[in-house]
Amino acid sequence: MAPDRERFDLVYLVLSGTTTAARCPEILHGLLRLGFPAAVEGVRVVESYFDAAIRPRPPRGVVLFAPCSFNSLNKLAAGIADSLALSLVAEAIGRRTPVIVAPSLNQPLLDHPAAQASLATLAGWGVEIVPPVDDGRGPVLAATKQLLGAARMHGPEQTS
Between 88 and 39, the higher pLDDT residue: 88
Q: Quick one: what percent of the chain has pLDDT higher than 70? A: 88
pLDDT of residue 41: 54
Provide the CATH number for the domain around residue 99.
Answer: 3.40.50.1950
More confident residue, 48 or 103: 103
Question: Quick check: is 137 in a domain?
Answer: yes
Question: What is the average pLDDT across 33-55?
Answer: 70
Q: What is the pLDDT of residue 1?
A: 41
Query: What's the structural domain count of the chain?
Result: 1
Pairing of strands 133-134, 128-129: unpaired
The Cα–Cα gap between 69 and 71 comes to 5
Dump pLDDT digits (tens) for 93-136: 999 999 999 999 888 899 999 999 999 999 999 999 999 887 77
Confirm whether 41 is domain-assigned.
no
> What is the three-class DSSP state of 16?
coil
Higher pLDDT, 1 or 55: 55
Domain range for 135 is: 11-33+59-152
User: 117 in a domain, yes or no?
Assistant: yes
Does 67 fall in a domain? yes
Q: Residue 2: pLDDT band by 50, 70, 90 thresholds? A: very low
Q: For residues 121 and 90, is the Cβ–Cβ distance under 8 A?
A: no
- What value does the mean pLDDT take over residues 69-91? 95
CB atoms within 10 A of CB 48: 10
**79 within a domain of the structure (yes/no):** yes
Asked if residue 141 belongs to a domain, the reply is yes
Does 49 reside within a domain? no
